């Protein structure tokens, strides 16, 4: 929701004051809105856009070179007055005439038309183009009734670029109308936006549903549907927009995948992946697509797909450079360096590791290692959700996922190494490297280092003695303490690992067999993991969100205890 304001009634004025301060030097305020800081050249048509505010970067954010000369700024979602439009038009216009362009909403149509008449009466040749890109707002035979949504951006951009090229007023109006005729948008909404000072959103969409064809203020669309996967949404948007391909249009399209405010960049890129593929399948060539927030609606959740079918002229204007507070295009600094080949690196290749086969005894031992890792995999994958839940109390809930991903990569690498005839040390090293590389994150690097260090204390020749295994376990512990700098009591994996290693050592010194000693140590480790629930974690960079986790065991300690318990049965097979 919209949370930050001083006086909600003055929100637009306050917003403009901040905007003009940030972008001083490139834009200035005038009664009713904003114009470029530099005067309009006498031979240049002025393009003035506008509408209600709450749509940033639209509309004041696109005042600048190659785009608008001015923006009329109404209150949130409210048409500016005819007086506002008149004043901004007067401030922006020079000697070559004026084009107003705005979305096709009742208030905007009335006010901009009145301003046009008044300016015409004063001798300023003024035209108005209303944008009607929203295919969901009226059937195609009533295209003149359609709303303007993200297609505003296309029409304003094309008109602005044409004016910058010194088209005359007839020419600017012509390409603006052409761009509008060739622009189609379909949008969906997942949640409504909140007006500054309001307690409730302007409209709501039921959970896990989406409004199809909703306008940028929540105006009615063509229906409501279940919220689909990103790929399915992409398909619906593409199908909806392509349903009205203008006759005679060529293969080139400009495209905008627009986020309405809280549907974020990462999500838009996921959707775009499929949009791009589907458009290519239709034989369309996408020219300089835009994926981001261009025409928002405060904190509304949703997105829209806009296509503009380009002829050569529209393509040139779509590609033309622009420099505005919120939108820039065109190579400021073209690179002279050559493009990369598919082999991206510019460094010589790293030397490949030479493969040394293990002894027969160590190869046997390596197969036991693989079986033990597989047992860990079963345990970790089986507890993935539970580990995620525990982790979510203190972290981002991905511990279970990270461990499952890591152990699976480790098992794959270990199997491959065994198939190549490697001994136990090499197999554990390969498993550790793969775990760290594929899982990433903190647990990945720690487990990777632990396995590699564990393996490094064994060899590819001799069968390890029980004392070797205990020393290897301690080497693993030391590796993660070195990397993670965690001390006992910090509520980390160390709190389960340290008692395990101590108990293993002690039992072996007391003459207990390896399998029994490991099992006993694993039981102690499990108790220690449970006991971490009582610990208050050390704050700092190592433990994000940690303060909240008091009362919940540490996820890293818990998964450690699961692993050593899973491995226990395989120790019986070593002497």
Q: Least distance (Å) from a copy of itself to the CB of residue 506?
A: 30
Catalytic residue among 23, 65, 217, 383: 217
One character per residue 122-161, x = contact with a copy of itself (rule: CB under 8 A): x-x------------xx---x--xxx--------------
Distances (CA, A) of 217 to 52, 84, 142, 410: 11, 22, 21, 51
For a copy of itself, the closer CB: 107 or 513: 107
Q: Least distance (Å) from a copy of itself to the CB of residue 551?
A: 15
Distances (CA, A) of 302 to 152, 189, 293, 297, 459: 17, 4, 11, 9, 57
For a copy of itself, the closer CB: 38 or 166: 38
The answer to whether residue 353 forms part of the interface with a copy of itself (CB under 8 A) is: no
Using alpha carbons only, give the angle 436, 467, 557 rounded to the nearest 5 degrees: 40
Q: Least distance (Å) from a copy of itself to the CB of residue 520?
A: 31
Count of C-beta atoms within a 10 Å radius of residue 187: 32
The answer to whether residue 56 forms part of the interface with a copy of itself (CB under 8 A) is: yes
One character per residue 168-207, x = contact with a copy of itself (rule: CB under 8 A): ----------------------x----xx-x-x-xx----
Q: Partners of 200 in the beta sheet?
A: none
The answer to whether residue 455 forms part of the interface with a copy of itself (CB under 8 A) is: no
Give the SS3 label for residue 451.
Answer: helix
Stretch in the footprint of a copy of itself (CB under 8 A) among 267-275, 310-318, 457-465, 556-564 = 267-275
Distances (CA, A) of 359 to 228, 363, 427: 55, 6, 13
The footprint of a copy of itself on residues 244-263 (CB under 8 A) is: 261-263
- Decide if 217 is catalytic: yes
**147 closest CA partner among 79, 206, 84, 224:** 79
The footprint of a copy of itself on residues 422-451 (CB under 8 A) is: 433, 436-442, 444-446, 448
The answer to whether residue 43 forms part of the interface with a copy of itself (CB under 8 A) is: no
Q: Is the dihedral of CA 380, 385, 389, 391 positive or negative?
A: positive
Tokens 């930050």: give the residue.
4
Q: Partners of 223 in the beta sheet?
A: 212
- Exactly one of 153, 272, 318, 454 binds a copy of itself (CB under 8 A); that residue is 272
Q: Least distance (Å) from a copy of itself to the CB of residue 481?
A: 12
The answer to whether residue 506 forms part of the interface with a copy of itself (CB under 8 A) is: no
DSSP secondary structure string for all residues of 174-223: HHHHHHHHTEEEEEEEEE----TT-SS-SS---TTEEEET--TT----SE
The footprint of a copy of itself on residues 278-307 (CB under 8 A) is: 289-293, 296, 298-299, 301, 303
Q: Least distance (Å) from a copy of itself to the CB of residue 233?
A: 7
For a copy of itself, the closer CB: 326 or 517: 326
Give the SS3 label for residue 460.
Answer: coil
Stretch in the footprint of a copy of itself (CB under 8 A) among 82-90, 411-419, 493-501, 507-515 = 82-90
For a copy of itself, the closer CB: 445 or 571: 445
- DSSP letter at 65? B
Measured distance CA(295)–CA(297) in Å, rounded: 7
Residues marked as catalytic: 217
């Amino acid at each position: 929701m919209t949370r930050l304001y001083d006086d909600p009634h003055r929100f637009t004025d306050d917003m403009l004051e901040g905007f003009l301060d940030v972008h001083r030097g490139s834009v200035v305020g005038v009664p009713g809105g904003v114009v470029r800081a530099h005067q309009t050249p006498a031979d240049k048509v002025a393009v003035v856009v506008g509408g209600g505010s709450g749509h940033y970067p639209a509309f004041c954010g696109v005042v600048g070179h190659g785009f608008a000369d001015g923006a009329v700024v109404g209150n949130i979602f409210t048409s500016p007055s005819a007086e506002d439009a008149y004043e901004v038009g007067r401030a922006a216009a020079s000697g070559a005439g004026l084009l107003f362009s705005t979305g096709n909403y009742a208030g905007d149509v009335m006010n901009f038309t009145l301003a046009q008449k008044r300016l015409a009466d004063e001798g300023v040749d003024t035209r108005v183009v209303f944008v009607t890109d929203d295919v969901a707002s009226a059937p195609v035979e009533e295209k003149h009734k359609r709303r303007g949504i993200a297609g505003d951006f296309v029409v304003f951009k094309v008109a602005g670029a044409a004016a910058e090229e010194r088209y005359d007023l007839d020419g600017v109006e012509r390409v603006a109308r052409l761009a509008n005729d060739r622009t189609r948008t379909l949008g969906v909404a997942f949640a409504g936006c909140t007006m500054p000072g309001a307690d409730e959103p302007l409209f709501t969409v039921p959970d896990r549903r989406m409004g199809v064809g909703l306008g940028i203020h929540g105006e009615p669309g063509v229906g409501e549907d279940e919220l689909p996967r990103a790929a399915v949404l992409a398909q619906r948007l593409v199908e909806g927009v392509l349903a009205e391909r203008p006759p005679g249009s060529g293969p080139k399209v400009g495209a905008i995948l627009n986020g309405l405010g809280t549907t974020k960049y990462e999500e838009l890129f996921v959707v775009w992946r499929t949009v791009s593929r589907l458009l290519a399948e239709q034989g369309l060539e996408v020219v300089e697509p835009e994926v981001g927030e261009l025409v928002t609606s405060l904190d509304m959740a949703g997105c829209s797909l806009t296509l503009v079918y380009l002829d050569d002229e529209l393509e040139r204007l779509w590609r033309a450079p622009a420099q505005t507070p919120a939108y820039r295009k065109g190579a400021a600094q073209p690179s002279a360096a050559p493009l990369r080949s598919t082999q991206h690196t510019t460094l010589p290749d790293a030397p490949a590791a030479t493969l040394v086969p293990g002894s027969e005894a160590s190869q046997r031992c390596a197969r036991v290692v693989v079986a033990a890792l597989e047992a860990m995999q079963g345990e970790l994958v089986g507890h993935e959700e539970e580990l995620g839940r525990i982790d979510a109390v203190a972290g981002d809930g991905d511990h279970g996922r990270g461990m499952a991903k890591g152990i699976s990569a480790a098992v794959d690498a270990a199997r491959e190494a065994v198939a190549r005839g490697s001994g136990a040390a090499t197999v554990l090293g390969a498993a550790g490297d793969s775990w760290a590389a594929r899982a990433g994150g903190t647990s990945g690097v720690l487990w990777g280092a632990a396995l590699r260090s564990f393996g490094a204390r064994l060899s590819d020749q001799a069968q390890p003695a029980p004392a070797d295994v205990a020393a290897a376990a301690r080497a693993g512990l030391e590796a993660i303490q070195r990397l993670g700098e965690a001390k006992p009591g910090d509520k980390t994996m160390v709190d389960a690992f340290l008692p395990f290693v101590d108990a293993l050592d002690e039992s072996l010194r007391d003459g207990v067999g390896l399998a029994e000693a490991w099992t006993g140590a694993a039981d102690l480790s499990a108790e220690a993991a449970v006991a971490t629930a009582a610990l208050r974690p050390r704050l700092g960079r190592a433990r994000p969100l940690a303060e909240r986790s008091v009362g919940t065991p540490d996820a890293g300690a818990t998964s450690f205890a699961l692993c050593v318990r899973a491995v226990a049965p395989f120790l019986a097979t070593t002497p």
